[in-house]
Amino acid sequence: MLQEKLLAQVAAVLNDAGIDYVVTGSVVTSVYGEPRYTQDADVVVAADPRLGEVLARAFEPPRYYVDAQDVNESLSKGLICNLIDTDIAKKVDFHPLKAEPFERSFFDRRRKVLYGGVDVWFPSAEDAILSKLRWARVTGDGERHVRDARGVYEVQGTTLDESYLRKWAERLSVSDLLAVIKTQDRSIDNGR
């Protein structure tokens, strides 16, 4: 899988440089729940002035497009930037770590998962669910995000910290969506 290989390469570079990050988005729900095709990968990075230069040195043109100055300027302004592999038409979007309680908890609870042969930092399954529910609420693209969250909930089942889920669902105003994925999960189990 080409996207998996690109993300693993990026993670290896960030790991080697000691730059803190966590993978987010559909890649995460594919790891914890049901696989889903995605065109890109999303990575939240902690502020690090070396990031642009580290990426530009590791991913050189003409195959890759990444501008060191753009990376650093974008992230310092709270904007997204990316790295593009022009040979396979795939990209990795970098998002700055925000100074908000959920994102901080999300980042602090991350864990290493072997992905594409590399130890990659992923959020906990609970945070993957909460993040998807939050995106469902914020973007209005609820169906896809709720389906992704439900897939993680169903696959992870009894390993989930229900207390943590309830606490943050309330704080993020997504308790109703959490109830929906739990109800749908139970109806699937009862239908077997």
Mean pLDDT in residue range 12-36: 91
Q: What is the pLDDT of residue 1?
A: 66
Q: In sequence order, what E strands does the chain have? A: 21-24, 40-45, 64-65, 81-85, 90-96, 111-115, 118-122
Per-residue pLDDT for 175 more than 90? yes
191 within 8 A of 151, measured Cβ to Cβ: no
| 24 and 42 Cβ atoms separated by less than 8 Å | yes
Alpha-carbon dihedral sign for residues 132, 137, 139, 141: positive
Q: What is the pTM of this model?
A: 0.88
Residue 80 confidence (pLDDT) above 60 = yes
142: three-class secondary structure by DSSP: helix
Per residue in 118-157, pLDDT (tens digit) is 999 999 999 999 999 998 998 876 788 899 999 999 999 9
Whether the per-residue pLDDT at 84 is higher than 50: the answer is yes
Q: Is the pLDDT of residue 83 over 50?
A: yes
Query: Residue 89 above 70 pLDDT?
Result: yes
Q: What percent of the chain has pLDDT over 90?
A: 78
Mean pLDDT of the chain: 91
pLDDT of 60 above 90: yes
User: What does the pLDDT read at residue 144?
Assistant: 86
